[in-house]
């Protein structure tokens, strides 16, 4: 029997769907069949298609098993490992030499995620076996700090945290800033709804981030680093702690790394989950033990950051790119992507799309290619309506813009931003007014309240949206919404307030008719807003089973068992939908508008 490696996805998503129970069943089955010397089980980070977990990837044949349950393990061991016959009911696709032949992976180009799902993130030996820490060794023994910065600058790498500031330019500013000591901070405070890019990198390949930070520290002249990660990421925190301890033990962090004069160490700082701490000056304040509030800039952190000293701040994905640029060269990296947006971008695909999960694609890929080729499109029977890109600070783009390339300049031109990489796909069951309200509720709640435009302005915008979704809005409210949004964009203190109006302004721009339907027709076309819908019982489908009447909490449904049709008293109906959920015949339907 040939030696088999079973890679088990054990990122947060797969663990939540039972990956650890699958591992236990695997270990037991392998032991029972006396296969311990032939089969190796490896816990990895996220493999990408999170909705399909738990996932097993079997090498050397490349078999990809999805939604594996502990009860399936015995069959896999006997049929596949012993008899050589893959269990077809658990396959995502036919066995193939490489998973990249699966459509979900075919358009991806993995650089940052190269090791995620391929190595055990808690074993530094596996990271070293695939070239880990070679880039750090190269810069410490063969390159000057100036040469490192020049290479990063020439690569065209831009910050992946959202703003897209040129990385090399930021490093140069910190290096030339006066004052010591200098600090390097990794911003892992990922707070966008539906975003999990940084979490997956930290869980699946933590050493790549440590190595990137060490290279940056050498380049800018720092000896101390901090990783600021939110407490809601317990698995990422655990694997970072393991990685830091391993790196210290091997002399990859600490004094005189690789027996050179360079010394650098890293500490973790756990955030309490405030969205505003993703803003760099608020993050710095939190590390210092202060309330996480932004401060006016300038001075910028590059000259006056942590403890008033020059500080370099990049996010997780930015640091994870660094080792690849150093090893493969700036020319290699700059050939990927577009003229102004180099390399790849990691996205979290979520919402109404068939293949949800983590993907990495070249910059410049179109929204259509990302959503339909990689994501598989929207579920059957539904139509694509919009994509929210850039998180709560991003914008909603309609179907007419599906062929827009994903790069910093193109997205900004159409009222959206790259953001950290959250992509939420919306279909025809989504109300765009309600979507805008959802994101504004989030940013208004997360506002630190330090500046009036954000503290008061966002609440004013939210009140108008709530008024419209109740069917009480007027057309003058749309003018007021846009005016408020523009004022907040230009006057808010930090990036949270400056970008918070984007979901509202973009939906006003591309889905104006939907706002007008809420105002003029007193109807929600997607039948989402409770005050602008009603429920109706179809007489020809009603079987008078009495289930809807018994489910109704307000006694709004009139009728007698076995005596169809039933009827809804609209003045009593609270539009909770309990009747529609209870009806097994599809006789209760939801309609846009008001009745009764």
Per residue in 408-426, pLDDT (tens digit) is 999 999 999 888 888 999 9
**How far apart, in Å, do the first and last CA atoms of the chain sit?**
73
- Nearest by Cα to 443 from 428, 460, 458: 458
pLDDT at 161: 83
Cα-Cα-Cα-Cα dihedral sign, residues 142, 116, 189, 405: positive
Which residue would you say has higher pLDDT here, 366 or 594?
366
Residue 178's alpha-carbon distances to 54, 166, 231, 304, 379, in angstroms, are 51, 21, 34, 9, 56
For the stretch 369-422, pLDDT in tens is: 999 999 999 998 899 999 999 888 899 999 999 999 999 999 999 999 888 888
Q: Could you tell me which CATH class the domain 432-520 is placed in?
A: mainly alpha
- Answer yes or no: CATH 1.10.8.870 is held by domain 344-427: no
- Nearest by Cα to 377 from 110, 14, 103: 103
**Close Cβ partners of 174 (under 8 Å, ≥ 6 residues apart):** 182, 220, 221, 222, 302, 310, 311, 312
pLDDT at 420: 81
CA 399 to chain centre: 22
Its pTM surpasses 0.75: yes
**Close Cβ partners of 41 (under 8 Å, ≥ 6 residues apart):** 6, 8, 23, 26, 27, 30
Cα separation, 509 vs 414, in Å, equals 10
3-state SS assignment for residue 470:
coil
For the stretch 452-498, pLDDT in tens is: 999 999 999 999 999 999 999 999 999 999 999 999 999 999 988 99
3-state SS assignment for residue 594:
coil
Q: Which CATH superfamily is domain 124-333 in?
A: NADH-ubiquinone oxidoreductase 51kDa subunit (3.40.50.11540)
Domain 4-102 belongs to what topology? Glutaredoxin (3.40.30)
φ, ψ (nearest 5 deg) of residue 59: -110, 145
pLDDT at 95: 57
Average pLDDT of the chain is 94
Contact in structure between 480 and 389 (CB atoms under 8 Å): no
Cα separation, 216 vs 195, in Å, equals 25
CA 493 to chain centre: 25
State which CATH number among 3.40.50.970, 3.40.50.10470, 3.30.70.20, 3.30.950.10 fits the domain covering 532-592: 3.30.70.20
Cα separation, 120 vs 126, in Å, equals 7
Cα separation, 470 vs 349, in Å, equals 31
pLDDT at 1: 59
The DSSP bridge partners found for residue 185 are 226, 313
The domain spans of the chain are: 4-102, 124-333, 344-427, 432-520, 532-592
Answer whether residue 222 shows pLDDT above 60: yes
At residue 2 the predicted structure's pLDDT band, cuts being 50, 70 and 90, is: confident
Question: Within 13 A of 277's CA, how many CA atoms are on the CB side?
Answer: 28
At residue 162 the predicted structure's pLDDT band, cuts being 50, 70 and 90, is: confident
pLDDT at 594: 83
Question: Within 13 A of 377's CA, how many CA atoms are on the CB side?
Answer: 7
**Close Cβ partners of 186 (under 8 Å, ≥ 6 residues apart):** 209, 213, 225, 226, 227, 228, 313, 314, 315, 316, 319
φ, ψ (nearest 5 deg) of residue 178: -85, 140
**Close Cβ partners of 506 (under 8 Å, ≥ 6 residues apart):** 395, 396, 397, 414, 415, 416
pLDDT at 464: 97
């Amino acid at each position: 029997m040939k030696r088999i490696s079973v890679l088990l996805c054990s990122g947060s998503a797969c663990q939540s769907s039972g990956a650890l129970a699958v591992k236990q069943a695997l270990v037991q089955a392998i032991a029972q069949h006396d296969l311990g010397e032939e089969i190796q089980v490896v816990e990895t980070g996220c493999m990408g298609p999170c909705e399909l977990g738990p996932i097993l990837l079997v090498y050397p044949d490349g078999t990809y098993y999805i939604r594996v349950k502990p009860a399936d393990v015995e069959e896999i061991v006997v049929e596949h490992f012993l008899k050589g016959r893959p269990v077809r009911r658990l396959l995502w696709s036919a066995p193939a030499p490489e998973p990249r032949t699966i459509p979900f992976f075919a358009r991806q180009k993995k650089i940052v995620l190269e090791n995620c799902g391929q190595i055990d993130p808690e074993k530094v030996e596996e990271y070293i076996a695939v070239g880990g820490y070679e880039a750090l060794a190269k810069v410490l023994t063969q390159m000057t700090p100036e040469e490192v910065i020049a290479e990063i600058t020439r690569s065209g790498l831009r910050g992946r945290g959202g703003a897209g500031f040129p990385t090399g330019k930021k490093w140069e500013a910190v290096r030339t800033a006066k004052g010591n000591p200098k600090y390097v901070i990794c911003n892992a405070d990922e707070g966008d709804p539906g975003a999990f890019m940084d979490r997956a990198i930290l869980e699946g390949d933590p050493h790549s981030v440590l190595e990137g930070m060490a290279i940056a520290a050498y380049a800018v002249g720092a000896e101390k680093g901090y990783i600021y990660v939110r407490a809601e990421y317990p698995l990422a925190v655990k694997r970072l702690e393991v990685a830091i301890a391993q790196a210290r033990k091997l002399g990859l962090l600490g004094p005189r790394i690789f027996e050179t004069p360079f010394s650098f160490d890293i500490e973790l700082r756990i955030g309490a989950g405030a969205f505003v701490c993703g803003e760099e000056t608020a993050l710095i304040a939190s590390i210092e033990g202060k309330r996480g509030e932004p401060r006016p800039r300038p001075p910028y952190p590059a000259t006056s950051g942590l403890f008033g000293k020059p500080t370099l701040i990049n996010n997780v994905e930015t640091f994870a790119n660094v080792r690849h640029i150093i090893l493969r060269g700036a020319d290699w990296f700059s050939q990927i992507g577009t003229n102004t947006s180099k390399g790849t971008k990691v996205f979290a695909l979520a919402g109404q799309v068939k293949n949800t999960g983590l993907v990495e694609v070249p910059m410049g890929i179109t929204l259509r290619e990302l959503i339909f080729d990689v994501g598989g499109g929207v579920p059957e029977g539904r139509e694509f309506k919009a994509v929210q890109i850039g998180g709560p600070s991003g914008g909603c783009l309609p179907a007419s813009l599906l062929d827009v390339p994903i790069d910093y300049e193109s997205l900004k031109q159409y009222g959206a931003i790259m953001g950290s990489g959250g992509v939420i796909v919306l279909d025809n069951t989504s109300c765009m007014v309600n979507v805008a309200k959802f994101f504004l509720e989030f940013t208004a709640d997360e506002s630190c309240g330090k500046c009036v435009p954000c503290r008061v302005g966002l609440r004013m915008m939210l009140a108008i949206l709530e008024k419209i979704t109740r069917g009480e809005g007027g057309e003058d409210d749309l003018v007021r919404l846009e005016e408020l949004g523009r004022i907040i964009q230009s006057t808010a203190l930090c990036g949270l307030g400056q970008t918070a109006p984007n979901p509202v302004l973009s939906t006003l721009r591309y889905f104006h008719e939907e706002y007008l339907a809420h105002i003029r027709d007193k109807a929600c076309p997607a039948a989402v807003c409770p005050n602008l819908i009603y429920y109706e019982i179809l007489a020809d489908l009603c079987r008078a089973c009495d289930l809807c009447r018994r489910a109704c909490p307000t006694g709004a449904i009139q009728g007698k068992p076995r005596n169809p049709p039933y009827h809804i008293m609209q003045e009593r109906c609270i539009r909770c939908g309990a009747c529609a959920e209870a009806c097994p015949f599809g006789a209760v339907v939801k309609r846009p508008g008001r009745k009764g």
